[in-house]
Amino acid sequence: MVVRNINARKDVREKFIPPQKGRRYDAPMSSDEVTIDVRLVNLAGALMEGTRKDDVKPEFDVNVKLEETERGTGEASFSFALAINTKPNIAKYDITGTVIVTGGNEVVEKLLQINPDTKVPNLLERVYERVFTSVYLLSTLISAPPP
């Protein structure tokens, strides 16, 4: 197995992201109501040796962990981990970080609600939107398929 490991730390501050076409957000988007601070702690990618197949479009198996670590008045902290593997086994990505949500308990509860369309918590969708660019860049650096 050939392993190319790139560790990165990136602070991303989200104030307002307009809804994407065809997507609906139940959580407030105004910067007056919510601030979501995503901190990428670790980003690693590995390209599996001997599995380079340019003509194959792999499926991605994503395992996610989102855990509340602290909650105070108007603020909540979470840790997250994403493990992304390809099928067939071409590459894998590991991403960890923290999220701090500021904006009141009602806002936090709305972000933790499951989006009925995607079956994923709204907060996790926001985290993925913020880290996707870094994972995509890493995939190009190691010549692996992007998730």
Contacts of 131 (CB under 8 A, 6+ apart): 12, 38, 40, 43, 82, 95, 97
At 68-109, the pLDDT tens digits run 999 988 899 999 999 999 998 899 999 999 999 998 888 888
65 close to 20: Cβ distance less than 8 angstroms: no
Pick from 48-57, 112-121, 130-139: least confident: 48-57
Is pLDDT above 50 for 6?
A: no
Q: What is the pLDDT of residues 15-69, one digit of tens each?
A: 333 444 443 333 334 456 789 999 999 999 998 876 566 677 889 999 999 999 9
What distance lies between CA 74 and its chain's CA centroid?
A: 23
Whether omega for the bond prior to residue 147 falls within 30 degrees of 0, making it cis, is no
Place of tokens 């918590």: 121
Rg (CA), the chain: 16
Q: Please say if the pLDDT value at position 121 is more than 80.
A: yes
Please name each of the domains of the chain with its CATH number. 27-141 (3.10.420)
Question: Which of 70 and 3 is assigned the larger pLDDT?
Answer: 70
Residue 74, pLDDT score: 84
